Chain A
Amino acid sequence: MTYTLLTFALFLQWVNVPLPNIPRTSDGKPNLTAPVPKTTDGKPDLTGIWRNPDGGYLENIARGGVQVPFQPWAETLYKQRQETFSKDRPSGRCLPHGVPDAMLVPATPFKFIQTPIVTLILFENQGRYRQVFTDGRGFPKEMQPTWLGYSIGRWEGDTFVVETKGFNDQTWLDDGGHPHTDAYHAIERFHRRDFGHMDLEITIDDPKTYTRPWKVTIPFEFFPDMELMESVCENERDTPHLVGK
């Protein structure tokens, strides 16, 4: 599958910024295998810019032979999206990527900002964000469906566990077209292995779409000495050029 509309904005914004607190090797390069940094309260500090440089997960979150337990209607829809080269994917119309889709766009990284009461996830792509509350609150009693859901987080040892509910049914799990409904409950487990590597194990629990919960593990790399860039989707400009059956 090819995506004809990927554009890259690599102009002269803040790139190659030698950020402090990044461990370095003797030649001055970021040491991505250094130990995990810790916050003052001893938790792993996930703060920083991350990306998955391999677009394979964006294309297919279930790559590598993961068996996806589709409900029949969902499998039909997924096949239809594949046959039409995903031309109707939301981001093609400047609508938001979803969870975890928004973290999988290789050209546009995301930034964790971790504080004791909330962790922000800022997406370069379309300038969107998530807030993961760690102040002890629960989910709202009623949730107006949203594109990126309502997230609460907790620590289980060195793993940051994020639960998200309250989605609408408009986003796709990946650009390949794995669907979900408003029953989608995402359970993300972020584990930073060392300074430069973090794994996300995400459990996709959506009984309307899948016959059982299923999970995938996605690796991320730290993107050192870089800042997020402004990214604006010019609404609908490219839509006429989308191709599909």
Chain B
Amino acid sequence: MLYPTVAVILLTQWVNVSIPNTPRTPDGKPNLDAPAPRSSDGKPDLSGIWRVAGK
């Protein structure tokens, strides 16, 4: 199905910002398989930007 009105705005906003506390692989890419971060009270910290995973 096509969605003709979906518009993607990826112009020059804050994209490719190197966010601190993001675990990284040796080549500098974000390591999405690293352990879940924890908040100061020990709970998993869900903070961050998410999107539905692709196949």
Contacts and interface: CB of A to CB of B under 8 A. Distances in A.
A137 B17 contact: yes
B14 A144 contact: no
B14 A141 contact: no
A214 B22 CA distance: 40
Contact of A140 (B14, B19, B20): B14
Q: B interface, by DSSP: helix, strand, loop or mixed?
A: loop
Range for the number of chain A residues in contact with chain B: 10 to 19
Q: A interface, by DSSP: helix, strand, loop or mixed?
A: loop
A135 B14 CA distance: 13
Contact of B12 (A117, A135, A137, A144): A144
A140 B10 CA distance: 13
Nearest to B16: A140
Contacts of A150: 13-14
Interface string B1-44: 00000000101111001011000000000000000000000000
Interface string A139-167: 01111101000100000000000000000
Nearest to B15: A140
Contacts of A143: 12-13
Interface in A61-107: none
A140 B20 CA distance: 17
B13 A135 contact: no
B17 A144 contact: no
A48 B1 CA distance: 43
Nearest to A137: B17
A41 to B, nearest CB: 12
Contacts of A140: 12-14
Interface of A: 117, 135, 137, 140-144, 146, 150
